[in-house]
Structure 1
């Protein structure tokens, strides 16, 4: 049996550590490791000294991939929803295969590790990055991409800037449409469960909900808004908070399907029927939306199509960079759909 890795081994020095020690960018370290010619002798000596001092060992497997005549792209993700992630990976892998591109996937468990993980991917030969929120919104990641001149595409993000293009739906309009739909069913007290406030999409969905309430002449009541984190567990607490109100909502719109499924579970625990006593709606239309009962009315976010479009755009940017052409930074919007299923109904007669 192999011995377990010690904590020290797991926390081996990264390319970012070498870059900081040598006073250069991670991309410069990558160029030295890959024996590229466009590095000054003094800089090369500083980097090599830092590598020796820190005992840094490059990722040989990834470097061997980089030597092949194909495009190597990385996917850096940190998403708590397994259903969402599954569709993202399927779309990304399928499209990468169509381009004869190699997709290297890296999970980031902590935001503080994001920069070093991204730098490690680039040092291993990755020419461009696919990212999901909240990683794509982190300032240290944006600075690393800018300083290293690495093309990137953010999936499900509206933050196109510098080196990073973006693929998303219009989160504001989608949340506005769902809230209006619920109001048109006759609901007057509509609860809302937010997503992680570190993600731009969370704020956009909340704004769409608030504006739709105002346009329908309904109260914009902070008591009807509960904080979630896009996780099932956070949805349990948020739904419990809303349903414990003396004047509880007759409908709850959750910012993703995981939290909507949690809301259905809490409703059942409290003896409420969905949708006769409580309408519950979600967002994303992942596989989870049709594997619970009742099936969720939700916003269909085309995650597979977004992942495929992101790979197409990143490959295009990488080829442009190889040819010495300017890379266009753009934000591409895909269409969303409001999908009606079995989890919504007019409010109980006593609430109208």
Structure 2
């Protein structure tokens, strides 16, 4: 017969509750007691199943990642960052994609909580900013951590990069190279980071004493097709830009495709920069200048905050401006 938690309890001379606390790595267990329990488990060859641990400690040993149909590169980065951290904690990761336009989103979230009883939830943009979702999690007493929130950053533990400063740095670099007409492709309107990156772009223009031409600001949706369409609108202007900053790599790749189709030299005729430094940025030709948003690091840090039951507040992770071959001085090539 397999060894169970009661056997460990008897062998160590402690209560089942104490064994549960050791299994769940809870605080307030004396070191000597913890050592005695661990010795008993090793001697008995006790290997608790996730189900047994959940029954013992009232936990499901799974966390949920809530996202809204993100691009494959972004999702891959998130899972890469979470996989190892969850494995180290003995926790299963469940990915739930939601349609933020759905009218039943709040009820869907409540159903997920009832069915899975996750020990915690990690929220990505734009779900991280949806008040009904946050309300549902708080009503269920489910801990959560947000990645790149745009509202109430002190409402929960959260992690992000300084999107505004990063966009200001990219735009400032282009200005420093001599560009004066710089197009900007805004991301999806539902994402707070879209406004933050736009604000950084506008701040850099103002800091350089350049006027803001709203014709140079075009709407995108964080995907390739919208980046290509925005580039066509920009390049059809009577006085087109000499540089375009797209606020995601997917959109920047679309801008690059539009330039190639028009037989424009990049960066000789048009400089292009993106944002995120996904694998795509290194796959296109020429490789994209971009902002390295360490998506895997953000996800791993979010998991750490969740497991630590961290206090509310925003923690910033450093970004990096990555210079590659798509940006140069006007007419440099």
TM-score range, shorter chain: 0.7 to 0.9
Provide the residue aligned with 1:122 in structure 2: 113
2:99 corresponds to 1:109:
yes
Give the match's secondary structure for 2:66: strand
Distance 1:265 1:153 in 2: 37
Distance 1:119 1:161, change over 3 A: farther
- Preserved CA contact (<8 Å) 1:226 1:242: yes
Distance 1:269 1:65 in 2: 58
Provide the residue aligned with 1:263 in structure 2: 255
How many Å apart are 1:118 and its aligned residue? 2.2
Distance 1:66 1:201 in 2: 37
Distance 1:166 1:261 in 2: 30
Distance 1:106 1:197 in 2: 22
- Scaled by the length of structure 1, the TM-score of the pair is 0.75
- Preserved CA contact (<8 Å) 1:160 1:330: no
Provide the residue aligned with 1:296 in structure 2: 288
- Preserved CA contact (<8 Å) 1:167 1:331: yes
2:312 corresponds to 1:348:
no
Provide the residue aligned with 2:162 in structure 1: 170
How many Å apart are 1:206 and its aligned residue? 0.5
Give the match's secondary structure for 2:275: strand
How many Å apart are 1:247 and its aligned residue? 0.3
Provide the residue aligned with 2:276 in structure 1: 284
Give the match's secondary structure for 2:146: strand
CA-to-aligned-CA distance 1:176-228 (integer Å, 9 cap, x gap): 00000010010010000001121111111101100100111222110000001
Provide the residue aligned with 1:38 in structure 2: none
Provide the residue aligned with 2:319 in structure 1: 336
Distance 1:65 1:284 in 2: 39
Residue of 275, 289, 311 corresponding to 2:303: 311
Structure 1, 276-285 or 231-240: larger mean CA deviation: 231-240
2:63 corresponds to 1:73:
yes
Gaps of 5+ in 1: 1-61, 318-326
Gaps of 5+ in 2: 1-49
- Preserved CA contact (<8 Å) 2:121 2:145: yes
Provide the residue aligned with 1:42 in structure 2: none
2:230 corresponds to 1:238:
yes
- Scaled by the length of structure 2, the TM-score of the pair is 0.79
2:82 corresponds to 1:99:
no
Provide the residue aligned with 1:84 in structure 2: 74
Distance 1:217 1:135 in 2: 36
Distance 1:120 1:66 in 2: 20
Distance 1:118 1:93, change over 3 A: farther
Distance 1:149 1:214, change over 3 A: same
* Structure with bigger gyration radius: 2
Distance 1:125 1:330 in 2: 25
Provide the residue aligned with 1:146 in structure 2: 138
